Structure 1
């Protein structure tokens, strides 16, 4: 193998497998990788692609596995635990790092390593999927229309079932405060205390709850707007308010283990019919202290269908040499119109 290989780590996970399916349908070459030998080898056989089995706990083995790799598409969560060792290995092996997280802490951590990434001559771009490509692109779109913007609000309404991995990552946030960007700093806000009713272009009104989404990190680097908040329909307002009282229980290791066990037993993720019939909508509002405002609306495919397309699109761009060394958010490097290159995406001004 030459140093022109794309490696998908966590390939046998829900989203990783969908990404492998799409790569195969395009006739692209890639390496199937993961820590579970049986699952990795079975998937490699299914797609007739080479396999690499290694655990991120073993730094030497990880670096060795990446020595022939040009781009790593990291699909194994929870990224709060797996991102750092993979970034460490990518820097040492000089392999570009991409992942599909939506965790703001991971984005912040990769951003903090910008100088290391530049020195290694590699790109570090977390969140190349549904989290946060659409919201990053629409944030940059409205920010470019209002350079004086001091505040950015992003509203997200998504349909479709979450994957097991996404639910497990979300459980880590259970009982925790929400987050916003205020005066350039990420600060806590009581979960359930920030709720907004938003009217979408079809005149439907959605009640959305503030969430600690990746955009409080990525959109800050993309737009330099100091005040950013994100609202979603992940939980109902009542559930959000109740979490203030149930939080201490949800944070216990026993509760976390029980919830993860329930996910393993009962959650399988969206099937193809659900992925084809559901979608996600975004509204971004940029405003300044003089009352000026710019708004835009974006509609994209189901979260997992979009993630597959956008992650592969970006990975193949990097494989072709379309990158700059260092940390970049998707829209910072590829522009606000990146999302329009993903089939099924529609954008309009409001």
Structure 2
């Protein structure tokens, strides 16, 4: 049976749709804009259904004909709740490509309901969560006594419209890490780490509130987790300035202005960008005795990886490779899942 690809008119959704067609798959495309959706359906030759997330009855009807939805319409802080509610009602497997801590935690809280409904709830099936989550479990396997985990990413690519909108929503909201098993608020860019990636390049990376603060804990049980990213110095200065400007950046007028700016200027990487881009992940696990395990992962440009990983995840769930309930990529498929995608490698340090 075909699955439902919701958000098929967005940047990531369109990449997934095109890759699905190239691999002989025929998902049903879905989204709220009938005209835009019809154009994508015409160019891909796929069936489509226009339905908004604010219409529960219509959403239930769309999901009822499909065993699984791959949800690609962000920001997921606004879109995941109505979709998971519909999936629980219709007993439809839920997958998405989010990287938002609050979304992961909200979906993890629905674990018992998902088990009762007999569905898999698997958020974060793209970059960065698949490789970082799998690297976290790999490090935990190498160092079972680990109590502290650091994960850093370096992505050589520009952002899509949806990713930029999520960044705008979180601008000025501060940072987050997991400390002694609990997610706690910390100042923006509160810590830095020197990470040597798989290409041998060492970069200073600044702490960010990335999704692995949630997922890596569910996957490994490691109680203290910080996530980092390699950013230009100018970006780090802006992040630190947001500690003072947070209330202004979170205000409705500024948020509206920034969202409008994103809508006008951000389109996502071109095909050439995706072809020459690359993604890197570094991880370090430490235990209370000072023992360490270090590993790196490298792969294609992030959005190209996301389309590949999300499709493979959907097919694996449809193939019965997962259990009911909330899952992370590594709890669903194992630490080596991030190596199943084309052009990936992992090295122990």
Are positions 1:324 and 2:314 aligned together? no
CA RMSD of aligned residues (A): 1.1
Contact 2:198 2:298 in 1 (8 A): no
Contact 1:6 1:73 in 2 (8 A): yes
CA distance in 1, matches of 2:39, 2:148: 49
CA distance in 2, matches of 1:309, 1:341: 10
C-alpha deviation, 1:154, in angstroms = 0.3
* Cα 1:202/1:35, change in 2 over 3 Å: closer
Structure 2 unmatched ranges of 5 or more: none
| Matched residue SS, 1:239 | helix
Residue equivalent to 2:275: 276
For residue 173 of structure 1, the aligned residue among 154, 170, 174 is 170
Are positions 1:291 and 2:290 aligned together? yes
| Matched residue SS, 2:255 | helix
Bigger Cα displacement from structure 2, 300-309 vs 191-200: 191-200
**1:75-104 per-position Cα deviation (integer Å, ceiling 9, x unaligned):** 011100110110000111111000000001
Residue equivalent to 2:97: 100
Contact 1:220 1:226 in 2 (8 A): yes
C-alpha deviation, 1:267, in angstroms = 1.1
CA distance in 2, matches of 1:209, 1:143: 23
CA distance in 2, matches of 1:23, 1:237: 37
Are positions 1:59 and 2:63 aligned together? no
Are positions 1:200 and 2:194 aligned together? no
TM-score (norm 2): 0.97
CA distance in 1, matches of 2:317, 2:201: 39
Residue equivalent to 2:306: 307
**1:248-305 per-position Cα deviation (integer Å, ceiling 9, x unaligned):** 2111111111111111111110011111111111111111000111010100111100
Q: Figure out how many residues of one structure are paired with residues of the other and give that number.
A: 347
CA distance in 1, matches of 2:99, 2:236: 21
Residue equivalent to 1:91: 88
Structure 1 unmatched ranges of 5 or more: none
For residue 227 of structure 1, the aligned residue among 210, 224, 227 is 224
Residue equivalent to 1:12: 9
Contact 1:100 1:131 in 2 (8 A): no
**1:42-68 per-position Cα deviation (integer Å, ceiling 9, x unaligned):** 111211111111111111111111111
CA distance in 1, matches of 2:196, 2:313: 32
Contact 1:101 1:131 in 2 (8 A): no
Matches within 5 A, 1:119-158: 119-158=116-155
CA distance in 1, matches of 2:264, 2:255: 14
CA distance in 2, matches of 1:323, 1:257: 40
CA distance in 2, matches of 1:269, 1:317: 28
